[in-house]
Amino acid sequence: MATEILSMESIRAGYGPNDVLHGTSLRVDSGEIVALLGGNGAGKTTTLGILAGTVAPRTGTVRWMGKDISRHSIADRLRQGLVLCPEGRRIFPRLSVEENLVAGTWIRDPKATPRKIREAYDRFPILGQRRGQLGGTLSGGEQQLLAIARALMSEPKLLMLDEPSLGLAPLVVERIFSILVEINACGTPVLLVEQNANQALKIAHRAYVLSTGTLVREGTGQELLASDEIRRAYLGGD
Ligand SMILES: Nc1ncnc2c1ncn2[C@@H]1O[C@H](COP(=O)(O)OP(=O)(O)OP(=O)(O)O)[C@@H](O)[C@H]1O
Ligand SMILES: [Mg+2]
């Protein structure tokens, strides 16, 4: 049976005087790909910030493997395997591909770094071919692969991604989504924030829809794909 690994309960959070999340709750179970959908400004990135520790909740609880981690630092959460691949990729433009893989990575065991770099190049041969190239000179798609490869260097027990398909050509998007399926098939649960709802729902076991800081729908990927209301609002269908 699936067990809960991460949850947030009744989270209220925001910036300055404004609340962005109004008592939001969600969970990710072992083995799952969970999609978090919603329009611009709905609070998706803020939600990931709450989970990764970059945004402090005003009220509510974040639980990881059964433990309250609401007040744990970003570094602490990273050490425990809660890894975020951030919005806009955020690779280091002046560092080489290989330096990017090492920098900004939580290294549990430095002796394992060469092995993990080899594994990254096995999974993403294009990065191996370009290991000496500066991150900033990679194409958008290559930068996203690098951002995912870098996140994997931290050996996530949960991989969270913020709009990995943003601005990429359809073929590259397909490649990114198939990589996520592959990572999940190897045992890593995935929490995926996406505007590309159609593709995200196709690979998600479960999904949530966020609208101005409130969860308005939850269901299996299939249920949401089949919902007229969701099609109209997020999938461009009628
Ligand atoms: N650092 C910040 N300071 C002040 N307001 C912020 C900050 N970050 C986000 N906000 C506001 O919080 C709201 C939710 O933003 P958030 O980035 O979580 O949305 P999102 O769903 O990720 O949107 P998008 O799809 O455009 O990335 C927005 O109104 C945004 O302007
Ligand atoms: Mg965002």
Domains of the chain, CATH where assigned: 4-91+157-234 (3.40.50.300)
Q: What is the pLDDT of residue 236?
A: 57
Question: Is the beta carbon of 109 within 6 A of some atom in ligand 1?
Answer: no
Residue 46 beta carbon below 6 angstroms from any ligand 1 atom? yes
**Would you say 34 and 205 are in contact if contact means Cβ atoms under 8 Å apart?**
yes
Q: Which residues of 11-43 are buried (b: 16+ CB within 10 A; e: fewer)?
A: bbbbeeeeebbeebebbbbbebbbbbbbeeebb
Q: What are phi and psi of 169, to 5 degrees?
A: -70, 150
pLDDT at 209: 94
Per-residue three-class SS string for the chain: CCCEEEEEEEEEEEECCEEEEEEEEEEEECCCEEEEECCCCCCHHHHHHHHHCCCCCCEEEEEECCEECCCCCHHHHHHCCEEEECCCCCCCCCCEHHHHHHCCCCCCCHHHHHHHHHHHHHHCHHHHHCCCCEHHHCCHHHHHHHHHHHHHHCCCCEEEEECCCCCCCHHHHHHHHHHHHHHHHCCCCEEEEECCHHHHHHHCCEEEEEECCEEEEEEEHHHHHHCHHHHHHHCCCC
CB of 21 closer than 6 A to ligand 1? no
Q: Which pLDDT does position 1 carry in this prediction? A: 65
**Which ligand neighbours the alpha carbon of 55 most closely?**
1
Counting atoms of ligand 1 from 1, which one is nearest the CA of 163? 27
208 CA from centroid of ligand 2 (Å) = 15
55 lines ligand 1 (CB under 6 A): no
Ligand 1: centre distance to CA 186 (Å): 32
State in Å: Cα 38 to ligand 1 middle.
12
pTM, two decimal places: 0.94
24: Cβ below 6 Å to ligand 1? no
Atom of ligand 1 nearest to the CA of 14: 12
pLDDT at 238: 44
Cα 96 from Cα 168, distance rounded (Å):
22
Residue nearest to atom 26 of ligand 1 (CA): 40
Is residue 131 classed exposed, middle or buried when 0-12, 13-18 and 19+ CB atoms within 10 A define those classes? Answer: middle
Residues 6+ apart with CB under 8 A from 101: 116, 117, 120, 127, 146, 149, 150, 153
- Say how many Å lie between the CA of residue 96 and the centre of ligand 1: 30
Given the CA of residue 48, which atom of ligand 1 is nearest to it? 18
Beta carbon of 83 within 6 Å of any ligand 1 atom: no
Distance 47 CA to ligand 2 centre (A): 9
Please give the average pLDDT of every successive group of 10 residues along the chain, which has 238 residues: 91 95 96 94 96 96 96 94 91 95 78 92 96 96 95 95 94 94 97 92 95 90 86 63
